[in-house]
Structure 1
Amino acid sequence: MDTTPDGRQGKSESWVREWVGWSELAPAGNVEAGAWGTWELTYHVGRYGVDDGGTIVLSRRFASDWAKPQTDAPGEPHYASVRTSGSASLRVRWDPKSNVRPWQQGLAIDVFDSYLAEGDTVTIVLGDRSGGGAGTRAQTFCEKNFRFRLFVDCFGSNRFIEAADTPSFSIDPGNPARLVIHGPTEQTPDETSWMQVKLEDIWGNPCHGIDAQVSLTTEGGICEGLPGTVQFSHDESAVFRLENLRWEPGKWGRIRGDAGGDIPPAYSNYVHAMEKTHRWRPFWGDLHGQSEETVGTNTVDDYFAFARDMAGAQFSCHQGNDFQVTKDTWSAIRAATKKYNEPGRFVTFLGIEWSAVTGMGGDRNVMYLGDDGPLHRTSHWQLDDWTDQETDRYPLDALYDALDGRRDVTLVPHIGGRRASLDYHHAELERVMEIYSSWGRFEWFVEQALEKGWRVGITAGSDGHKGRPGASYPGAAIFGVYGGYACIYATELTRESLWEAILARRVYATTGKKIHLSFSAGDHFMGEEFESTDPPLFKVRAVGECGIESIELKRASQTVCSYRPKDATAQNTNWFRVSWSGARIHQRNRQTHWHGGLRVDKGKIEEPRNWQVDNLEEGVQSTDEQSIRWLSRTTGDADGVEFRLSGGDGATLFFETDIVSFEVKIDDIGAVPYVVEAGGVRQQVEVQRISRAPGNPHTNVTFDVDESNFHDGWNPYFVRLMQEDGALAWSSPIFVKKAKK
């Protein structure tokens, strides 16, 4: 249900075809996600013609990562050519702001030195190979109804009408490249458990129509009801949910899967089979993303169905930009939210993204407990119907006033394209804030809020626009990282129980992995606040999907202590990690380009590999015995490389990028990172030795700390955990106020 205007003013398709013209695409038919090829779109000019000074724009959606065309180098990838049968000359340019959101991205073709007449054609070749180029890459994520929309300004007036016969096709998943297995992280004594097994293509799309078999075994405990194999067939999605599993009580177990061929074995998250029922249980989901009704992909029904069936999420919320939400769209969102809510299986929340200019409050996700709630937009900026404009609430203080005193609504400050302002805060309405999403990692955002005295919990989500909530791969453009996950400690999987937990800040965030994390101080759990005359004793229990590299106890932005269980085995190895992280600015266009490399003057670099690189088109590009070259962009997150250096005693490592360059003696590098600051927003480079010991002996860690130096006033303590693969988790804080004796 795309609400973007087509400029036709209600004129029929036949009228548009006759007067404005029409388009056709070759080859026609569906396209495999991420496939390389050549596509030729031909525009047939209508009776109006196109005047000298007119423009034709081939538009695609904001979220699409179909490779950006270039028009300067015929022998290079993604070359686009344009020709006409008419007498006019054509000037081609890529314009990321050529149309109305969400169809901003476009190839603009200016007509000059003559005109185009009825019957003339304009042919656009995407991925033109005639000059020796490799073609171009299609969009990397699936879409049921992908469209190239052709808009024409026939009279040079800057008013565009969409041509007839817009090409439409589906983008389908490719062949299996990855096996994914996951499920809950705890099993109660009186319930059975479940696991999801799925095959994904190289871009993270769940496969379909694959004849494949996956063998399953357990590690760490017996799992009754687990079949030895799962069989996928040609007439179904390669996603299977195993039900009625029962793990051996008291054990931490996981499942190993083997799909054979070139697909690497996969391991599930660990599951703790509880011997007794605890007060709260962890539930996993994604509370942030949107669909094609605003700026995302596929419908709101598809959105919730993917979260439940393809991602295996246990809860979800849709968050469309408010200034695009029509009355009909709001009705559709409410209906889908109600339809997919199934207590005990999959819980949905109604939501809308209040999307203001940062200075007026910035982005806040609005979530409702019930099936309905007031729709207070920031504005009607992209709507035709302004009859209910009086319901708008702007700036943020006006929204606070409208919702003040309600316990059935909550706001979640976050950073997407625009960022939330920390100059506004409502302590009762804003109980948690987002530290991470597909847009990047924003630890500074949460830490600044805590330094300002906010008592908020920490969550994460995908903010996905690609129709994959709960499994939001970044693709190849715009978004920098895999989407985040929220874990909520609640009594049961219902709206009411999850809602109570969110308001109580009993929630933590991860960068998409199901890392088990428990954080307490005596009888007080994450999210709670209490006063104490004695120093608090904190306990952390963490179980990673792979080895845990570090656990930090933080008080707002200060690191109180750090526990690094693998440092002893890493200190004298000849394995190294060089990583870089941070963002250019706090605002939009924050990505830092780290394109460059490293080299050594002695020794031999062996087994170089990417570390934490999310974009398949980035990472290591070339290597030799003494150098590694890469492409990399970060948006608060970290990318890096790992390698073994043989015969490197006394060597010097040279790091060379446009952001920062430096040299360091290899003999001076230990397990604790050597850090070089690089300006911007926490831009830095780390060089360290790492352990490659097999078996991941530090997946299950208990960490205690007696914090004797807590300050007067409220102290916000939280945990930051990092696995050896770079995945992160952050607990919500425990707020401790130092009381006078």
Structure 2
Amino acid sequence: MTAHQANDFQIKPAFWKKLNHLTETLNEPGVFTVLPGYEWSGNTAVGGDHNVFFRKEGARIYRCSHALVAEHDDLDTDAHTLTDLYNRLHDEPVDSVMYAHVGGRYANIHFDHDPRLEAAVEVHSAWGSFEWILTDGFPMRRRVGVVANSDGHKGRPGASYPGASFFGAYGGLTCFLMKENTRDAVFEAIRRRHTYGTSGPRVAIDIKAELTAGGTLFHRNPIAEPDCATEKVFVCTMGDIVQITDKKVKVSVSVDAPVGIESIELRRGTSTVALWRGYEDKNLGNRLRLMWSGAEYRGRGRNTRWQGRILINGGCIERFSPVNRLNPEQTLEQVGSKSVIFNTITTGNRMGCDIWLEEESSEVEVTTNHGALSLTLKEMDGKPVIMSAGGLERKLIAQRLPAGGLATSAHFQKEIEIEEDGDTPVWLCVNLEDGNQAWTSPIYLFQK
């Protein structure tokens, strides 16, 4: 499934007509789904960037402005705020859905929200990784799905490297859980929040909650559509909104990845209630993983620069390997037998390196422009050492790993307590050995 999402204030009438012709021509039901649509590019103060998708061609385009459009005969169709856009789309005969998008003008989820239209938030793209756009909504009972997109501005969906531009991450992918590859199925998957996103790799993820006493599953968000269809269920999956009476539920997780799985975080809201690793402390080897991540803030120019040196005292580097290094012109390299230097950026995503040490008793000194760490490998167990660095979730994490490759499959279960009031969002963050990540849409469980 793909779509072209041009900034609305640049789309001239002739180009909008051409886009509609292309999507209609290229869409092949059952094989390749192409959706017509555009990016509504209002400033953050009036709602921020949102992706608009139409079920079929022929819809009007409702721009935030005509800033770079010379033709002004349809100025009266502009939607200057997100609220205006919602109203326009409700009046539009062609069905539509929306994503809250984090680009240069990040989506402002506090400005307005219409669950009938906006069913998903974007947690990753070439702009970086943004868990906050999901978790900021939990206190407000925003029941949205998770998606990841490219937005690399290079016309390479599914292969969107950042290159030498201001982008700092590889473009993401979304998995839609559906029985057929059609526009109708895509729309239903989005509206049911049956999606998960990755920072690039194709990972198979399944999460289910078993409900002993059963529950009422809502096909739409009942806060916005109280008369929506419902059904009685005893098992639910990612994206489902289910009212239950159980105080606890058993959650089953299954992940199959094309690379090793570093860890899986089973989360309840913003808390990690179970951390899966495919190894025990006795399996730890001479590999030290150092990963830095985070951003400066939410808006444009959020890139964080990480500069520094890793120095090995009392030993040498046996082997060195960068992790998730995407910009070749940025320095991340071994210098001699005892040191590594780096000058890189992150934009919410994570990157770093693996160092195999000849002597586990060696002291490792990590010096960065955001702080420093000093540690000895033999004194580390499987628990990460974390240096918080301010900003927006900026951190440096040191972790001891087995010397060899990690397991590529994971299966586990965990019992989770359900809040008495409000929602209990249950979701996954999968951390892969190559530095990539994946996130599932939450299961939204509630008692009342």
**TM-score where L is the length of structure 2:** 0.91
TM-aligned CA deviation for residue 430 of structure 1: 0.8
Structure 2 counterpart of 1:670, which letter? Answer: D
TM-aligned CA deviation for residue 711 of structure 1: 4.3
CA distance in 2, matches of 1:582, 1:719: 19
TM-aligned CA deviation for residue 402 of structure 1: 1.7
Matches within 5 A, 1:489-568: 489-522=177-210, 523-534=235-246, 535-568=248-281
Matches within 5 A, 1:89-108: none
Matches within 5 A, 1:297-446: 315-404=1-90, 408-423=95-110, 424-446=112-134
CA distance in 2, matches of 1:399, 1:518: 34
CA distance in 2, matches of 1:471, 1:477: 15
**TM-score where L is the length of structure 1:** 0.55
CA distance in 2, matches of 1:570, 1:684: 26
Does residue 1:608 correspond to 2:296, yes or no? no
Structure 2 counterpart of 1:614, which letter? Answer: L
Structure 1 counterpart of 2:414, which letter? Answer: V
Q: Which secondary structure state, in structure 2, belongs to the residue aligned with residue 353 of structure 1?
A: strand
TM-aligned CA deviation for residue 580 of structure 1: 0.6
Partner of 2:220: none
Partner of 2:437: 728
CA distance in 2, matches of 1:496, 1:709: 33
CA distance in 1, matches of 2:31, 2:141: 37
Structure 1 counterpart of 2:199, which letter? Answer: T
Structure 2 counterpart of 1:437, which letter? Answer: S
Q: For 2:136, which of 435, 448, 452 is the aligned residue?
A: 448
TM-aligned CA deviation for residue 714 of structure 1: 1.3
> Between Structure 1 and Structure 2, whose CA radius of gyration is higher?
1
Give ranges in structure 2 of 5+ residues lacking alignment: 211-234
Q: Which secondary structure state, in structure 2, belongs to the residue aligned with residue 431 of structure 1?
A: strand
CA distance in 2, matches of 1:731, 1:547: 18
Cα 1:403–1:553 shift into 2, 3 Å: same
Structure 2 counterpart of 1:363, which letter? Answer: D
CA distance in 2, matches of 1:444, 1:692: 33
Cα 1:318–1:629 shift into 2, 3 Å: same
Q: Which secondary structure state, in structure 1, belongs to the residue aligned with residue 56 of structure 2?
A: coil
Native 8 Å contact 2:310 2:364 kept in 1: yes
Partner of 1:488: 176
Q: Deviations over 1:30-67 (max 9, x none)?
A: xxxxxxxxxxxxxxxxxxxxxxxxxxxxxxxxxxxxxx
Native 8 Å contact 2:257 2:409 kept in 1: yes
TM-aligned CA deviation for residue 577 of structure 1: 0.6
Partner of 2:403: 692
Matches within 5 A, 1:644-655: 644-649=356-361, 651-655=362-366
Does residue 1:719 correspond to 2:405, yes or no? no
Q: For 1:470, which of 146, 158, 164 is the aligned residue?
A: 158
Partner of 1:46: none
Does residue 1:666 correspond to 2:353, yes or no? no
Q: Which secondary structure state, in structure 1, belongs to the residue aligned with residue 177 of structure 2?
A: strand
CA distance in 2, matches of 1:620, 1:422: 36
TM-aligned CA deviation for residue 671 of structure 1: 2.0
Q: Which secondary structure state, in structure 2, belongs to the residue aligned with residue 595 of structure 1?
A: strand
Q: Which secondary structure state, in structure 2, belongs to the residue aligned with residue 716 of structure 1?
A: strand
Q: Which secondary structure state, in structure 2, belongs to the residue aligned with residue 462 of structure 1?
A: coil
Partner of 2:219: none
Q: Which secondary structure state, in structure 2, belongs to the residue aligned with residue 380 of structure 1?
A: coil
TM-aligned CA deviation for residue 619 of structure 1: 4.3
Partner of 1:171: none
Structure 1 counterpart of 2:180, which letter? Answer: E
Q: Deviations over 1:472-494 (max 9, x none)?
A: 11112211111100000111111
Native 8 Å contact 2:320 2:334 kept in 1: no
Structure 2 counterpart of 1:658, which letter? Answer: N
TM-aligned CA deviation for residue 617 of structure 1: 1.8
TM-aligned CA deviation for residue 568 of structure 1: 3.5
CA distance in 1, matches of 2:30, 2:277: 38
Q: For 1:596, which of 299, 308, 311 is the aligned residue?
A: 308
Structure 1 counterpart of 2:373, which letter? Answer: F
CA distance in 2, matches of 1:683, 1:410: 33
Q: Which secondary structure state, in structure 2, belongs to the residue aligned with residue 490 of structure 1?
A: coil
Native 8 Å contact 2:10 2:69 kept in 1: yes
Native 8 Å contact 1:569 1:691 kept in 2: no
Partner of 2:231: none
TM-aligned CA deviation for residue 324 of structure 1: 0.3
Partner of 1:206: none
Q: Which secondary structure state, in structure 1, belongs to the residue aligned with residue 109 of structure 2?
A: coil
Structure 2 counterpart of 1:358, which letter? Answer: T
Q: Which runs of 4+ in 1 moved over 4 A?
A: none
Q: Deviations over 1:619-677 (max 9, x none)?
A: 4234222211122110011111111111241x332111212223234343222210010
Q: For 2:294, which of 582, 586, 592 is the aligned residue?
A: 582
Structure 1 counterpart of 2:441, which letter? Answer: S
CA distance in 1, matches of 2:22, 2:322: 40
Q: Which secondary structure state, in structure 2, belongs to the residue aligned with residue 625 of structure 1?
A: coil
CA distance in 2, matches of 1:568, 1:333: 55
Q: Which secondary structure state, in structure 2, belongs to the residue aligned with residue 717 of structure 1?
A: strand
Does residue 1:707 correspond to 2:405, yes or no? no
Partner of 2:223: none
Partner of 1:627: 339
Q: For 2:350, which of 631, 638, 661 is the aligned residue?
A: 638
Which structure has the higher relative contact order (CA within 8 Å, separation 6+)?
2
Q: Which secondary structure state, in structure 2, belongs to the residue aligned with residue 722 of structure 1?
A: strand
Matches within 5 A, 1:77-116: none
CA distance in 2, matches of 1:578, 1:677: 13
RMSD between aligned alpha carbons?
1.6
CA distance in 1, matches of 2:17, 2:282: 58
CA distance in 2, matches of 1:317, 1:426: 22
Partner of 2:392: 681
Native 8 Å contact 2:97 2:187 kept in 1: no
CA distance in 2, matches of 1:328, 1:567: 61
Q: Which secondary structure state, in structure 2, belongs to the residue aligned with residue 643 of structure 1?
A: strand
Matches within 5 A, 1:60-79: none
Structure 1 counterpart of 2:127, which letter? Answer: W
TM-aligned CA deviation for residue 570 of structure 1: 4.3
TM-aligned CA deviation for residue 551 of structure 1: 1.2
CA distance in 1, matches of 2:420, 2:146: 22
Aligned length: 421
Q: Which secondary structure state, in structure 1, belongs to the residue aligned with residue 36 of structure 2?
A: strand
CA distance in 2, matches of 1:560, 1:515: 22
Q: Deviations over 1:193-245 (max 9, x none)?
A: xxxxxxxxxxxxxxxxxxxxxxxxxxxxxxxxxxxxxxxxxxxxxxxxxxxxx
Structure 2 counterpart of 1:370, which letter? Answer: K
Q: Deviations over 1:94-141 (max 9, x none)?
A: xxxxxxxxxxxxxxxxxxxxxxxxxxxxxxxxxxxxxxxxxxxxxxxx
Structure 1 counterpart of 2:433, which letter? Answer: E
Cα 1:604–1:622 shift into 2, 3 Å: closer
Matches within 5 A, 1:122-141: none
Structure 1 counterpart of 2:58, which letter? Answer: D
Q: Which secondary structure state, in structure 1, belongs to the residue aligned with residue 84 of structure 2?
A: helix
